[in-house]
């Protein structure tokens, strides 16, 4: 498959720089910090839209995203990521609840592994998955980032959100 439409661009956000990658049709990767990803380094309408929606999210003005997503992963990982998209803004689920939701109740460790490999953090809200004991475990970008995103959603979730 040709990947000539791949682009990436780094945007400034209130949470620091975030690099977005696109395949020309959908967002394929989100990385905290400034990084060189696949394709040509240039902003596109799609990455600009994604960056705008991220800014609105960080400002507490957006609780859902409308950018098309195309994460690359195994069928199991994609099943987990689809389940993560059902977790409402400002709420959390445990790894066990996600495992049960996808019909693999004993696979909570594998759910954790898929969560950790999520290529589209924030857009696919892996930060909303917590340990059964309520602990902020297993966030690829660190528990401080995870706690910050959950705090943002809890603070803004108490107000009426526009979509």
- The residues carrying an active-site annotation are 126
The DSSP result for 10-54, as a single string, is EEEETTEEEEEEE-SSSEEEEEEB----SSEE---HHHHHHHHHH
| Cβ-defined contacts of 94-99 (< 8 Å, 24+) | 94/129, 94/130, 94/131, 94/132, 95/129, 95/130, 95/131, 95/132, 95/138, 96/132, 98/129
Strands 40-41 and 7-13: parallel
Sheet with 27-32, strands from edge to edge, namely: 27-32, 16-22, 7-13, 40-41
């Amino acid at each position: 498959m040709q990947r000539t439409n791949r682009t990436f661009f780094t945007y400034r956000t209130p949470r620091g720089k975030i690099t977005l990658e696109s395949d020309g049709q959908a967002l394929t990767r989100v990385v905290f910090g400034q990084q060189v990803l696949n394709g040509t380094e240039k902003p596109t309408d799609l990455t600009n839209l994604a960056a705008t929606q991220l800014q609105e999210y960080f400002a507490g003005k957006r609780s859902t995203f409308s950018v098309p997503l195309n994460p690359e992963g195994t069928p199991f990982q994609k099943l987990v990521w689809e389940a993560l998209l059902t977790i409402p803004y400002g709420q959390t689920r445990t790894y066990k609840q996600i495992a049960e939701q996808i019909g693999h109740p004993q696979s909570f460790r594998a759910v954790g592994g898929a969560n950790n490999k999520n290529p589209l953090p924030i857009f696919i809200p892996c930060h909303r998955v917590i340990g059964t004991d309520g602990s902020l475990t297993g966030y690829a970008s660190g528990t401080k980032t995870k706690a910050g995103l959950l705090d943002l959603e809890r603070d803004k979730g108490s107000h009426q959100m526009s979509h």
